[in-house]
Amino acid sequence: MLKIGNIEINRYPLILAPMEDVTDVSFRYICKQYGADLMYTEFVASEALVRNIDKTVQKMHLEDSERPVGIQIYGHDPLHMAEAAQIAREAKPDLIDINCGCPVKKIATRGDGAGLLQNVPLMLEIVRKVVEAVPDVPVTVKTRLGWDEDSKIIPELAEKLQDCGIKALAIHGRTRMQLYKGEADWTLIGQVKNNPRIKIPIIGNGDVDSPEKAKQMIDRYGVDGIMIGRAAVGCPWIFKTVREYLETGVMPEEPSVTERVNLAKLQLKTSMDWKGDKRGILEMRRHYSQYFKALPDFKNYRMKLVTSMDPDEIFRVLDEINEKYS
């Protein structure tokens, strides 16, 4: 069982990682249907939230059907982060997460996200201020092993973050400089989890892209939950397949083409309803290749899906895919 503040998950927790331009309302809805136990919003910039920028405020829209769900905020100014947390609290999230792990250049190089790994005192000040600002909402942190190979500071950092009052810690098994290259190193995640001084839940993240890999990480490192990010893009049913494998030891069948087509339609429609046709169509494009991975002679359909801006045409292409491959 995972317990974070008032959140209780009475089975092994499978968690959808926060991802910019991915974990919006439409994608979270589908992942929830397939068994994601805890989910997060896209990244919410503290500076934009304090300035009441509409696009940023929109990211905090939550539906009761997706709970438990957290809002993830990022920034490098302690006072603005505290204010942003108070604003986020008004959306009634089940938790507030602090992004200390995003490696993207435009984020990290200005001291946000994983950039905070180069300024630990500032990171800790931010965490303390946010915890103090929202005493009635559990605060968690997502971070990485360190900035680079020479500064894998997570074993010591985890203790300091716990002392700041966070209720859980998610660790991606790469440094910032690795971005998403190479293999995630879970050994230090396991070291943090097995540190007798650590009392908060430790959630492992990085390279969990199959039921077998999830079980291996659980058995080997004993983490309190598995966070799945990129592997869920275009494959939201991964939560269901991992769950069934953990509970039965049997590898479940992949969804049929018809089921995948219907899911793609649902996600596209919901995304357009929420973000408008143009943005909804553009953000959906990253999902198609995975939705229909391994289908033979698919290139022509894929090109149509990732170039058309006409919703009716896209739905027609999806129908054609269903007719041809079902």
When the candidates are 1.10.287, 3.30.1490, 3.40.140, 1.10.1200, the CATH number that belongs to 257-325 is 1.10.1200
Phi/psi-derived region of residue 83, left when phi > 0, alpha when psi is between -120 and 50, beta in every other case: alpha
d(CA 35, CA 13): 10
Q: How far is CA 160 from CA 147, 163, 185, in A?
A: 17, 5, 21
Whether residue 39 contacts residue 62, with contact meaning beta carbons closer than 8 Å, is answered with no
Give yes or no for a contact between 270 and 29, defined as CB atoms under 8 angstroms apart: yes
The per-residue pLDDT for 326 is: 85
Rg (C-alpha) for the chain, rounded Å, is: 20
Residue 61 CB neighbours (<10 A): 11
Domains 2-248 and 257-325 share a fold: no
**In angstroms, rounded to a whole number, what is the distance separating the alpha carbons of residues 222 and 308?**
45
Q: What angle do CA 116, 286, 226 make, to 5 degrees?
A: 55
Q: Is the dihedral of CA 66, 67, 68, 71 positive or negative?
A: positive
> To the nearest 5 percent, what fractions of the chain are helix, strand and coil?
50, 15, 35
What are the tokens at 293? 């991975």
β-bridge mates for residue 98, sequence order: 73, 141
CATH topology of domain 2-248: TIM Barrel (3.20.20)
The DSSP letter of residue 255 is: P
The pLDDT tens digits along the chain (326 residues) read 899 999 999 899 999 999 998 999 989 999 999 999 999 999 999 999 999 999 899 999 999 999 999 999 999 999 999 999 999 999 999 999 999 999 999 999 999 999 999 999 999 999 999 999 999 999 999 999 999 999 999 999 999 999 999 999 999 999 999 999 999 999 999 999 999 999 999 999 999 999 999 999 999 999 999 999 999 999 999 999 999 999 999 999 989 999 999 999 999 999 999 889 999 999 999 899 889 988 999 999 999 999 999 999 999 999 999 999 98
Please, which residues bridge with residue 72 across strands? 43, 97
- State the pLDDT at residue 293: 87
CB 21 within 8 A of CB 229: no
* Nearest-angstrom CA–CA distance, 14 and 243: 8
**Which residues are the active-site residues?**
102
Q: Whole-angstrom Cα distance, residue 113 to residue 117?
A: 8
Domain boundaries, the chain: 2-248, 257-325
pLDDT digits (tens, 9 = 90+) for 271-310: 999 889 999 999 999 899 889 988 999 999 999 999 999 9
Residues with Cβ within 8 Å of 219's Cβ and at least 6 positions away in sequence, in order, are none
DSSP H helical ranges for the chain: 25-33, 46-50, 54-58, 78-89, 105-108, 120-133, 154-163, 187-193, 211-221, 238-248, 257-275, 277-291, 299-307, 311-325
* Number of Cβ within a 10 Å radius of residue 54: 7
Q: Which long-range contacts (CB under 8 A, 24 or more apart) does 250-255 make?
A: 251/211, 252/211
Hey, which residues does 172 pair with through a beta bridge?
Answer: 144, 205
